[in-house]
Amino acid sequence: MNSIYFLCLNALQFVPYAFGLLKNYAELDPEIRKSYQWHEPVHRMEPEGRIVEKIKAPAVLCASCYVWNHQRQTRIAERVKARHPGCRVIFGGPHVPDDAESFLRKNPFIDFLVHGEGEIALRDLLKSFLEQDVDVSHIQGISYLKKGRFFSTQPGKQLPKELPLPSPYLDGSFDAFFADPRGGKIALWETNRGCPYSCAFCDWGVRSTNKIRTHGMDKLRLEIKAMAEAGVEDIYVTDCNFGIFPRDVEITRMLVDSNQRTGYPKRVRIQFAKNSNDAVFEISRLLHEKEMLWGTTLSMQSVNMDVLQAVNRGQIGIENYRKLEKRYRAAGIPTYTELILGLPLETRQSFIDGICTLFEIGLHEDVRVFELALLPNAPLSRPEARKRYGFETGFRPLRLAEGHSAQEFVELVFATASLPPADWAACLLFAEAVQALHNGAYTRFLSIYLHERGLLSYREFYTGLLDVLMKDRGKVGAPLRRIQQLIADFAVDRQMPQINRVLTQPDMVEFLNRYNPRRKGWALWTYLWLVLSEIKDDFYAALQDFVTGRGIPLDDELADLLAYQRDIMLDIGYDPAVGKSVEYRHDWFGYFFERKPLAAGPIRLRYTDQQMGVSFRYPLAANDPRRFVNAAIGLSYPYSKFRHFFHQPDRTERMG
């Protein structure tokens, strides 16, 4: 039997889904099934040397590559090839460049590149290897070198509308993975494949623009049952546009039914259809009612229509989002959106205005900001786009180096023709600040009140507050200036990683280790949020000075609101066994959470929170730093910010 090894390294506990799909399709061919032995996929981020030692007498080494594993898997493949020269090395996945010749010449130990969808090409390669005189010239969708000459075949065929893929969840392909006692497993799950969009920053739609193809409903139903039996708590639906089909509502009902009967899955993360529709709303409602929803994506990337047109997203406009957010808010369904800093034509003003516009339409829970990364096959990576938009880029490590393992690198945009370096840095500082202050709720309710009263717009509030805090030379301004300095260093320091940049700063690490020394997923805004939790009195004194300094009198109503804004924030000393009772002169609870006109009190409230987060997964405990940080701010991407930061309305009791 010819041994096949498969590399699909990832930092999270994602099921090795690509391995299962590719293996099962290839084994539909009887000759492949009897001629090859597939070893357990290599998916854990272990030291490279240890991985190389595990690979014994390989006939074929496959690697599914993306930005988080590309360099490491390349180096492993080189070492495996040196040890086993007869091993055929095949690379596929989104990170394999369409411009393949220079890549192959740089990495001659790679025998074949598979471009786009991989099932058919991999099957055909494996069959060809069994021939006495191997001939791959007829195989579509591959690139390779032969006797120093470069060959690239025509684009590969795609699987038909009804995807003929046997399920790896049903045939035991993942049994060893699920039997591993280490927890935190996330099941990747595809119900359909393909994307009808071609967003210029993305390599997904470009590589799969086609009619969407689907997995059969009977198979999906059995897979849900199998995942529940395996105790899968989290399912990550990998479809580009879940909710694009009416049948997706039925799939959701199957997930909810499984949760109610078995307790699994507990949570579902979905990349919803770009043009949110009735199906997306119904899916969100069903999951939210059972506390299974990680949040509904209202995908934006930018709020500026010129920017959206430049990246082929012009069909999705802000007015549609105003209607959608109103609908979701009325149903109590949490939503989130993602913005990308550095897109073509974006300016400092348009970016900041965009964030504030999102607040105006009611997106208060979770606005996420990411730096624009130029992926190898995305349209924005092409030379003509780089020149047209004046991109200034730099490569940065994705994460901190681990031992002697290769670092992964990502190419980030630090400036454009419309966004000079100083403006890029200012926008990132603003984004991190409002993620802590508004999404993180320290100022959310005060800013909503001032906006709705016509006293300060969100832009006036946050740009003004940030200016004041940055000038503060005491404890309140220190964390913001520290983040500003880190952003400036990141723009020029080629060794500072994108994801773990906080962990390169000894002073920040010393502070954060008090909460959890083992945690790696610290964002800049989480650092700011925790610092403010320790200087709450000073912060709210500065906040009061800012408001009154803008000519807004500290009358009875505003003073009462400031007390409410402070009290509602989760505190490390909060004891869930006791709860927390508070009293106000106005009904702020009714105003913010029941959308009633502000009424005079008095009103007494009792906060009774026991757990936080989606599906109440993080228990609270008084003066427990590790539990506090999980409950207060949750985990890092891809987890939701919903049900964190402050005492939740559905756990608040009116005392009369």
In this prediction, residues 251-271 reach a mean pLDDT of 96
Q: pLDDT value at position 323? A: 79
- Cα 405 to Cα 195: distance, rounded to the nearest angstrom: 34
Q: pLDDT value at position 282? A: 94
Confidence class of residue 334 from pLDDT cuts 50, 70 and 90?
confident
Could you tell me if residue 245 is inside a domain? Answer: no
In this prediction, residues 84-90 reach a mean pLDDT of 98
- Reading the block at residue 491, the tokens are 């723009």
Could you tell me if residue 604 is inside a domain? Answer: yes
- How many CA atoms within 13 Å lie on the side-chain side of 347? 6
- Cα 569 to Cα 117: distance, rounded to the nearest angstrom: 48
Could you tell me if 394 and 400 are in contact, meaning their C-beta atoms sit under 8 angstroms apart? Answer: no
SS3 content of the chain, % helix, strand, coil (to 5): 40, 20, 40
Could you tell me if residue 332 is inside a domain? Answer: no
Report the candidate in 440, 310, 425, 437 with the shortest Cα–Cα distance to residue 365: 440
Please list, in sequence order, all residues whose beta carbon lies within 8 angstroms of the beta carbon of residue 186, skipping any fewer than 6 positions away: 12, 13, 14, 15, 232, 234, 235, 236
- Cα 43 to Cα 168: distance, rounded to the nearest angstrom: 16
- Global pTM reads 0.93
Confidence class of residue 315 from pLDDT cuts 50, 70 and 90?
low
Say yes or no to pLDDT of 362 above 70.
yes
Q: pLDDT value at position 312? A: 86
Say yes or no to pLDDT of 641 above 90.
no
pLDDT digits (tens, 9 = 90+) for 479-489: 999 999 999 99
pLDDT cut 70: percent of the chain above it: 97
- Cα 508 to Cα 531: distance, rounded to the nearest angstrom: 10
1 vs 469: which has the higher pLDDT: 469
Task: Give the domain CATH number at 109.
Answer: 3.40.50.280
Q: pLDDT value at position 601? A: 80
Say yes or no to pLDDT of 639 above 70.
no
**Of the given ranges (326-340, 420-434, 449-463, 514-528), which has the lowest mean pLDDT?**
326-340
**What's the order of all strands across the beta sheet hosting 13-14?**
13-14, 185-189, 234-242, 267-272
Among the candidates 152, 172, 201, a domain finishes at 152
In this prediction, residues 503-515 reach a mean pLDDT of 97
Could you tell me if 312 and 197 are in contact, meaning their C-beta atoms sit under 8 angstroms apart? Answer: yes
Tell me the residue range of the domain where 30 lies: 2-152
Task: Give me the phi and psi of 369, to 5 degrees please.
Answer: -125, 130
* CA-atom Rg of the chain in angstroms: 26
Phi-psi region for residue 394, left (φ > 0), alpha (ψ -120 to 50) or beta? beta
- How many CA atoms within 13 Å lie on the side-chain side of 381? 18
* SS3 state at 419: strand
E-only strand ranges, 60-180: 60-64, 88-92, 112-114, 142-146, 149-152
**Of the given ranges (99-108, 335-344, 636-645), which has the lowest mean pLDDT?**
636-645
Say yes or no to pLDDT of 653 above 70.
yes
Could you tell me if residue 624 is inside a domain? Answer: yes
- Cα 507 to Cα 495: distance, rounded to the nearest angstrom: 18
- Cα 93 to Cα 105: distance, rounded to the nearest angstrom: 19
Beta bridge partners of 619: 611
- Cα 251 to Cα 492: distance, rounded to the nearest angstrom: 47
Q: For the chain, what is the domain count?
A: 2
**Of the given ranges (277-281, 351-355, 482-486, 643-647), which has the lowest mean pLDDT?**
277-281
Could you tell me if residue 605 is inside a domain? Answer: yes
Could you tell me if residue 607 is inside a domain? Answer: yes
In this prediction, residues 66-88 reach a mean pLDDT of 96
**Please, where are the H alpha helices in 159-293?**
175-179, 204-208, 217-229, 247-262, 278-289
In this prediction, residues 600-614 reach a mean pLDDT of 94
Report the candidate in 639, 594, 598 with the shortest Cα–Cα distance to residue 615: 639
Please list, in sequence order, all residues whose beta carbon lies within 8 angstroms of the beta carbon of residue 457, skipping any fewer than 6 positions away: 356, 451
What is the overall mean pLDDT for the chain? Answer: 93
- Reading the block at residue 529, the tokens are 């949020």
Q: pLDDT value at position 107? A: 97
Report the candidate in 238, 164, 251 with the shortest Cα–Cα distance to residue 194: 238
Among the candidates 93, 119, 152, a domain finishes at 152
Say yes or no to pLDDT of 405 above 90.
no
pLDDT digits (tens, 9 = 90+) for 276-299: 778 999 999 999 999 998 878 877
Q: What is the DSSP track for 345-410?
A: T--HHHHHHHHHHHHHTT--S-EEEEE-B--TTSGGGSHHHHHHHT-EEEEEESS---TTSPPPEE
* SS3 state at 315: coil
Say yes or no to pLDDT of 477 above 70.
yes
Could you tell me if residue 549 is inside a domain? Answer: no
Say yes or no to pLDDT of 205 above 50.
no
Could you tell me if 396 and 216 are in contact, meaning their C-beta atoms sit under 8 angstroms apart? Answer: no
Among the candidates 98, 123, 152, a domain finishes at 152
Phi-psi region for residue 223, left (φ > 0), alpha (ψ -120 to 50) or beta? alpha
Could you tell me if residue 46 is inside a domain? Answer: yes
Strand 600-607 and strand 580-586: pairing?
antiparallel
Say yes or no to pLDDT of 249 above 70.
yes
- Cα 576 to Cα 610: distance, rounded to the nearest angstrom: 5
Q: pLDDT value at position 300? A: 81
